[in-house]
Structure 1
């Protein structure tokens, strides 16, 4: 469970850093974004690239970036 939370946070942190969105999202929000991004990314893009704890990292980051681009505005 803790490994899954850490992977979710890492995915959301990287996606937020790449897209420059979601800066004010809390730790729990980032974990939830990482989980949802992993689910959507692996559903859309498959299971390729490096994996940690059974999660394909690259498709998961792409899924989280997609969610950030659709639902969060850039903060000034």
Structure 2
């Protein structure tokens, strides 16, 4: 993977994570870095659970990625509240 492809992937994962953080009832700890992690993990989780459908940008199926990222934000938010 080239550095340009990684940067584009990171930007898209960050955008997905930020949107997931905003629509989720819980807050993702870690600010922009936490949002990026939620975007990367959510993309993987969403495609595993729901497949790759809908608009695809730079290898990211956006709708399953967003759903997966919301699931990640909710799980992390619940765990963070328990240990807070």
The TM-score bracket by the shorter chain reads 0.7 to 0.9
In 1, Cα distance between equivalents of 2:29 and 2:75: 16
Number of paired residues? 75
- Structure 2: segments with no counterpart, 5+ residues: 1-5
Higher relative contact order (CA 8 A, sep 6+): 1
Instruction: Report the structure number with the largest CA radius of gyration.
Output: 2
Maintained 8 Å contact 2:28/2:35: no
Which secondary structure state, in structure 2, belongs to the residue aligned with residue 21 of structure 1?
coil
Query: Which range is displaced more, 15-24 or 53-62?
Result: 15-24
Residue 15 of structure 1 is aligned with which of 14, 20, 27?
20
Q: TM-score, normalised by structure 2?
A: 0.79
Structure 1 spans left out of the alignment, 5+ residues = none
Superposition CA RMSD, Å: 1.8
Partner Cα separation in structure 1 for residue 41 and residue 75 of structure 2: 13
